[in-house]
């Protein structure tokens, strides 16, 4: 395996672990702590909220440090730091201690997106496909959080779901650091490339950039709420709506002799994993289409898919609920690389991590607000109302994307 492939593999593993760590608690809260600690699901969610705010707010300083010091060095800090934080969270004995642990996990989790995506978009060509492949790994981390945590709840307890990935992340970080040590210690050079002439119509170009930036940040915030609401709540949604299917499958597996022991929590985790894993493959198609056709048409299709399937979901159970959930997750996962693609195409190279940092401050701050939204809506009205709200959010995205131009402008200044 050549060096480029090795480095891309490490970045993909980092994206996988980043999303896995941030969603372990979603399954722990739904399937274990609500019973073990006697707290309601909605009440437990408030302890995860600070971690998701940290996930957003610390993206900007992470991007700034990466641009000023070393992007490769910051990825090393990410791997080792988030692993240690996860292991520490496993020793929590109270909800407050869990909340503190999740906050520290969020601080280190904030490093990956602004730094890792800046490396991906600057180091390689075919940006759309590279972001798509990297996005698939991240979404498999989302999927595996439900599967792995459900398994450990049934076969060792929820604490192991934090410890084992933490150890894996630390080991990966040590190997990565050794691999890129020369890149980390190499003095940072400053580009001396001369500025190019401004585009012919500077005012028009600036207005177009402002319009696209407004669309990027609006769709980023709304889409983040949609993504977080679906990925965080899906284990609980399936726990409520697929109990009959999960019990039937567990009974069949237990009587067929195909597995030693199958439990409902494991089956719910497996359903969530399957939906997340299959839906994440949509990003490969999206990446290909982005490189060929640009973001506008692709984004419109992803938003329309979400709108239709969210509108269909209220009242559904078992097989139909599983099929429709797959539909809206295809749309939710499919749109993930689109805003990153637009930022990567329009941002100047040396400031790219900082610009991604701003994008992810917006994204993950909005993402954090999804947890109170889920808690309030679930406790008062149930998940059917949540699906209607998410359908409305998908419509807002669809409307905003309709104002995108057919082609993206390039940065007005090169080498900046």
CATH value at residue 54: 1.20.1250.20
The answer to whether position 413 is within a domain reads no
The answer to whether position 317 is within a domain reads yes
pLDDT band at 200 (very low <50, low <70, confident <90, very high): very low
Most confidently predicted of 105-114, 247-256, 405-414: 105-114
pLDDT in tens, 125-166: 667 788 888 888 887 887 788 778 878 877 778 888 899 999
- Vertex 209, ends 121 and 215: CA angle to 5°? 85
The answer to whether position 322 is within a domain reads yes
Nearest to residue 232, comparing CAs of 12, 24, 10? Answer: 24
The answer to whether position 140 is within a domain reads yes
Sign of dihedral through CA atoms 328, 333, 337, 343? positive
CA 251 – CA 77 distance, rounded (Å): 45
pLDDT in tens, 255-289: 776 665 667 777 887 888 888 888 888 888 888 88
The answer to whether position 395 is within a domain reads yes
SS (H, E, C) 321-374: HHHHHHHHHHHHHHCHHHHHHHHHHHCCCCCHHHHHHHHHHHHHHHHHHHHHHH
pTM over 0.85: no
Contact assessment for residue 72 and residue 180, using Cβ atoms and an 8 Å cutoff = yes
The answer to whether position 411 is within a domain reads no
The answer to whether position 194 is within a domain reads no
Residue 12 reports pLDDT greater than 90: yes
The answer to whether position 269 is within a domain reads yes
More confident site: 338 or 411 = 338
What mean pLDDT is reported for the chain?
Answer: 83
**Domain count of the chain?**
1
CA 283 – CA 234 distance, rounded (Å): 19
**Domain hosting residue 81, numbered range:** 3-185+202-401
């Amino acid at each position: 395996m050549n060096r480029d492939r090795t480095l891309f593999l490490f970045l993909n593993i980092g994206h996988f672990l980043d999303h896995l760590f941030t969603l372990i608690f979603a399954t722990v809260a739904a399937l274990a702590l609500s019973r073990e600690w006697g707290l309601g699901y909605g009440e437990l969610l408030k302890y995860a909220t600070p971690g998701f705010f940290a996930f957003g707010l610390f993206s900007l300083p992470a991007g700034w440090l990466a641009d000023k010091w070393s992007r490769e060095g910051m990825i090393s800090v990410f791997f080792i730091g988030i692993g240690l934080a996860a292991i520490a969270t496993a020793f929590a004995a109270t909800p407050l201690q869990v909340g503190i642990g999740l906050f520290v996990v969020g601080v280190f989790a904030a490093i990956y997106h602004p730094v890792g995506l800046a490396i991906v978009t600057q180091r390689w060509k075919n940006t759309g496909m590279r972001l798509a492949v990297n996005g698939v790994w991240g979404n498999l981390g989302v999927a595996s959080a439900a599967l792995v945590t459900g398994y450990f709840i049934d076969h060792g307890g929820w604490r192991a779901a934090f410890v084992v990935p933490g150890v894996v992340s630390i080991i990966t970080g040590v190997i990565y650091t050794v691999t890129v040590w020369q890149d980390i210690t190499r003095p940072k050079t400053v580009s001396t490339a001369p500025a190019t002439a401004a585009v012919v119509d500077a005012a028009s170009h600036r207005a177009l950039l402002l319009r696209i930036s407004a669309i990027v940040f609006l769709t980023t915030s709304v889409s983040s709420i949609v993504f977080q609401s679906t990925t965080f709540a899906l284990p609980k949604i399936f726990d409520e709506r697929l109990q009959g299917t999960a019990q039937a499958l567990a009974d069949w597996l237990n009587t067929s002799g195909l597995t030693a022991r199958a439990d409902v929590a494991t089956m719910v985790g497996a359903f969530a994993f399957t939906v997340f894993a299959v839906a994440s493959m949509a990003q490969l198609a999206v990446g290909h289409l982005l490189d060929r056709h640009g973001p506008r048409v692709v984004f419109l299709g992803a938003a329309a898919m979400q709108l239709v399937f969210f509108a269909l979901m209220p009242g559904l159970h078992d097989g139909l609920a599983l099929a429709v959930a797959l539909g809206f997750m295809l749309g939710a996962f499919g749109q993930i690389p689109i805003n990153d693609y637009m930022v990567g195409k329009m941002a100047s190279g040396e400031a790219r991590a900082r610009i991604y940092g701003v994008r992810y401050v917006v994204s993950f701050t909005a993402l954090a607000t999804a947890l109170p939204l889920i808690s309030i809506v679930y406790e008062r009205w149930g998940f059917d109302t949540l699906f209607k709200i998410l359908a409305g959010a998908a419509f807002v995205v669809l409307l905003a994307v309709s104002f995108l131009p057919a082609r993206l402008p390039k940065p007005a200044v090169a080498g900046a």
